[in-house]
Amino acid sequence: MLYSYHFALLLLGASTVAGFFGALLGVGGGIFIVPAMVLGFNLPMKIAVAASIVSVIATSNAGGSAYVDQRITNLKLGMFLEMFTTAGALSGSVLALYLRESVMALIFAVMLLYMAYAAFSTRNLDDRRIAAGEFAKAQPDRLTGFLSLGGTYRDLAAGRDVRYVVNGSFIGAAIAYVAGIASGLLGVGGGVLKVSAMNRYMNVPMKVAVGTSKLMIGVTAAVGSILFFMAGLIHFVVVGPVALGTTIGATVGTTVMNRLHSVALKWLFAALMLYLAYGMLVRGLNAAFHIHIPNFG
Amino acid sequence: MPQRKEVETEQPKTSTEENVYAGVYRVLLAGMLVSSVLFAIGIALALLHPAFFPLTAKWVRGHYHALWVLHGIIRGNPLALMMAATVLLILTPVARVVTSIYAFAVDRDWKYVAITSIVLLIMIATAVAGWLGLR
């Protein structure tokens, strides 16, 4: 691979855009940067996944620190769920070492499709729930009560403090484990799974879920990165532009994010997911079964 | 306005929990800034001398020597700089977890010391498993 201006600067640019979108949508840049590296730069899937998982740490640091600074993140909830995401990341990254690249591309496409679906199915609920004060009315379950996992945050878009009670610890932990597997296997943060688990099943407001998920993503991605680093899959010249670009993009994206309502974001998010899922499907089917379907670039 | 009955469940944030927030914030910010600067210098230096790099795990692992990295950083070798930045980036969340354990211990919040220690143990187990399994 020739490390030219062309390659490095384009990769830096693509990663910046991926990091920006990732931060805006509350997902790690990995969801965009892995398809960009595989489809746009023709890099091997495992090199792309490994570079992405390191850049996901960078995104998490950049995005996560801003949420922590604004006290949107729920640290205790994050640390509770991290037990399950890190265990999942260990399982997933070990799996990634042994799976064929075409199979990983197909799994990636399936994950993108699920995320597009998740974006549509959770659309539009949050603003109404905040307005009705629903987040404060729920009952904690035994474990979340024992660990006192509730909180308050300042929502700039709604212009008020939002208080919330956390419950659903069992299903939250289960989904966190699956999100960890996705993170280790596919080089993404698994943020969408974590955010939807917290928002839908644990009664956590969307922005708190996003900020908390960012924090967990860093630790989760570190587990995958450690294993890939040992395996020699983290290629420094690829990871450089990718990590720097996503950091810059995520920093800008996060400052914009808390000023936006969540609704418009989800539409943009779903459309992009579908487009990238199709691309990965084309690539995976071609490599695994020699099935050719038309590619729209 | 009818009075709305709300269930009080969470306590207000203690001063030590504020310390956890502040500590976590500083670790995240420092890791991000230093690794970004190293990456930026590494990329800039690499761009000065465009070259071919093999895309194989064997080639990457051939550079895992502490002395080579140290010499490389001093001499401004772009590969060594980007490797150092990568390692630093990977260690940032580890440092964040350690910081959290310390802050929770200061607060005598043993439940969270235990929870966060389990996370740290999984990270260490991954490194050990990778080291033993991939030699």
What's the whole-number mean pLDDT along residues A129-153? 74
Query: Would you call A75 and B100 a contact, using CB atoms and an 8 Å cutoff?
Result: yes
Whole-prediction pTM value?
A: 0.83
Which residue in the set B55, B82, B119 is minimally distant from A79, CB to CB?
B119
Distance of CA A147 to the CA centre of its chain: 25
CA dist A80 → A44, A147, A173, B36 (Å): 35, 9, 8, 29
Distance from CA of A210 to the nearest CA of B (A): 16
Query: Would you call B43 and A133 a contact, using CB atoms and an 8 Å cutoff?
Result: no
Residue A261 CB-half CA count within 13 A = 13
Residues of A in contact with B6 (CB under 8 A): 133, 136-137, 163
Query: Would you call B46 and A223 a contact, using CB atoms and an 8 Å cutoff?
Result: no
Query: Would you call B86 and A54 a contact, using CB atoms and an 8 Å cutoff?
Result: yes
The pLDDT assigned to A5 comes to: 67
Residues of A in contact with B87 (CB under 8 A): 229
> Which chain B residue has the Cα nearest residue A149?
B10
Helix, strand, coil % over all residues of chain B, rounded to 5: 75, 0, 25
Residues of B in contact with A82 (CB under 8 A): 97, 115-116, 119
Q: Which of A109-123, B29-43, B95-109 has the lowest mean pLDDT?
A: A109-123
The pLDDT assigned to A69 comes to: 74
Q: Is the residue at B102 inside a domain?
A: yes
Q: Is the pLDDT of residue A1 over 60?
A: no
Q: Is the pLDDT of residue A225 over 80?
A: yes
How far apart are alpha carbons B118 and B103 in whole angstroms?
16
Distance of CA B39 to the CA centre of its chain: 15
Give Cβ neighbours of residue B66 (< 8 Å, ≥ 6 apart).
none
Which residue in the set A57, A69, A89 is minimally distant from B25, CB to CB?
A69
Interstrand relation of A2-3 and B51-52 (parallel, antiparallel or unpaired): antiparallel
Q: How many domains does chain B have?
A: 1
Q: Is the residue at B76 inside a domain?
A: yes
Q: Is the residue at B88 inside a domain?
A: yes
Query: Would you call B47 and A79 a contact, using CB atoms and an 8 Å cutoff?
Result: no
Cβ-based contacts under 8 A for chains A and B: 206
Complex-level ipTM:
0.81
Query: Would you call B86 and A236 a contact, using CB atoms and an 8 Å cutoff?
Result: yes
Q: Is the residue at B5 inside a domain?
A: no
Range(s) of the domain holding residue B70? 16-133
Residues of A in contact with B89 (CB under 8 A): 54, 57-58, 61, 225, 243
Note the pLDDT tens digit of each residue in A147-182: 777 777 777 776 777 778 788 788 989 999 999 999
Query: Which pLDDT band, with edges at 50, 70 and 90, does B5 fall under?
Result: very low
Q: Is the residue at B57 inside a domain?
A: yes
CB atoms within 10 A of CB A230: 23
Distance from CA of B70 to the nearest CA of A (A): 16
Query: Which pLDDT band, with edges at 50, 70 and 90, does A85 fall under?
Result: very high
Query: Would you call B24 and A75 a contact, using CB atoms and an 8 Å cutoff?
Result: yes
Residues of B in contact with A93 (CB under 8 A): 126
Q: Which of A30-44, A113-127, B6-20, B71-85 has the lowest mean pLDDT?
A: B6-20
Query: Which pLDDT band, with edges at 50, 70 and 90, does A92 fall under?
Result: very high
Domain range list for chain A: 7-98+120-264
Query: Would you call B86 and A230 a contact, using CB atoms and an 8 Å cutoff?
Result: no
Note the pLDDT tens digit of each residue in A33-50: 888 888 888 888 999 999
Q: Which of A72-76, A101-105, A244-248, B62-66 has the lowest mean pLDDT?
A: B62-66
Residues of B in contact with A79 (CB under 8 A): 100, 112, 115-116, 119
Confirm if A225 and A57 have CB atoms less than 8 A apart: yes
Q: Is the residue at B45 inside a domain?
A: yes
> Between residues 91 and 130 of chain B, which touch chain A (CB distance below 8 Å)?
91-94, 96-97, 100, 111-112, 115-116, 118-119, 122-123, 125-127, 129-130
